[in-house]
């Protein structure tokens, strides 16, 4: 188990305090603090670390929403996304759960489990 936060705005998984350059860009759910790091918050309010099993943080593709544009494949830093037919698929063995693919998808087809 790892202490993690999930951005309430974009779903990006954050660990401890994250340097701004690692944020995928929304920053709507993060607060800026003195040492130039963004501290994750949820719904605009501070929230402490959340303990969750790794599987609870793995993004998944909604096949009906995926158009096969491959933008998620291009941005995945660990090469965990491949095409199966015309739909993206996330390999759970390779995915590190950083969720960069979520804001990358123009169709909103990549989501975190509820």
We report the CATH number of the domain holding residue 63 as: 3.30.70.20
Tell whether the model's pLDDT for residue 81 goes beyond 80. yes
Question: In angstroms, how far is CA 65 from the centroid of its own chain?
Answer: 17
Domain final residue pick, 36, 52, 68 = 52
On whether both 48 and 79 belong to a single domain, the answer is no
| C-alpha closest to that of 13 among 73, 77, 87 | 77
On whether both 43 and 80 belong to a single domain, the answer is no
Give the three-state DSSP class for 94. Answer: coil
Q: Among the listed ranges 34-48, 58-72, 75-89, 100-114, which one has the minimum average pLDDT value?
A: 34-48
- Token pair of 77 as six digits: 């830093």
pLDDT tens per residue across span 83-103: 999 999 998 888 888 888 999
Question: In angstroms, how far is CA 45 from the centroid of its own chain?
Answer: 19
- Which range marks the domain in which residue 89 is found? 54-111
On whether both 45 and 62 belong to a single domain, the answer is no
pLDDT for 87: 92
pLDDT tens per residue across span 27-61: 444 554 444 454 544 433 344 334 333 455 688 89
Confidence of residue 10 (pLDDT cuts 50, 70, 90): low
pTM of the predicted model as reported, rounded to 2 decimal places = 0.52
7 against 85, higher pLDDT: 85
On whether both 16 and 44 belong to a single domain, the answer is yes
On whether both 80 and 39 belong to a single domain, the answer is no
On whether both 60 and 101 belong to a single domain, the answer is yes
On whether both 33 and 58 belong to a single domain, the answer is no
On whether both 45 and 61 belong to a single domain, the answer is no
Domain count, the chain: 2
């Amino acid at each position: 188990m790892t202490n993690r936060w999930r951005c309430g705005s974009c779903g990006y998984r954050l660990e401890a305090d994250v340097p701004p350059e690692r944020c995928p860009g929304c920053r709507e759910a993060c607060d800026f603090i003195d040492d130039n790091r963004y501290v994750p918050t949820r719904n605009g309010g501070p929230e402490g670390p959340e303990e969750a099993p790794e599987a609870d943080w793995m993004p998944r593709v909604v096949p009906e929403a995926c158009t096969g544009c491959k933008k998620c494949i291009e941005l995945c830093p660990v090469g965990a996304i491949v095409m199966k037919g015309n739909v993206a698929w996330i390999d759970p063995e390779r995915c590190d759960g950083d969720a960069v693919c979520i804001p990358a998808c123009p169709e909103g087809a990549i989501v975190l489990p509820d």
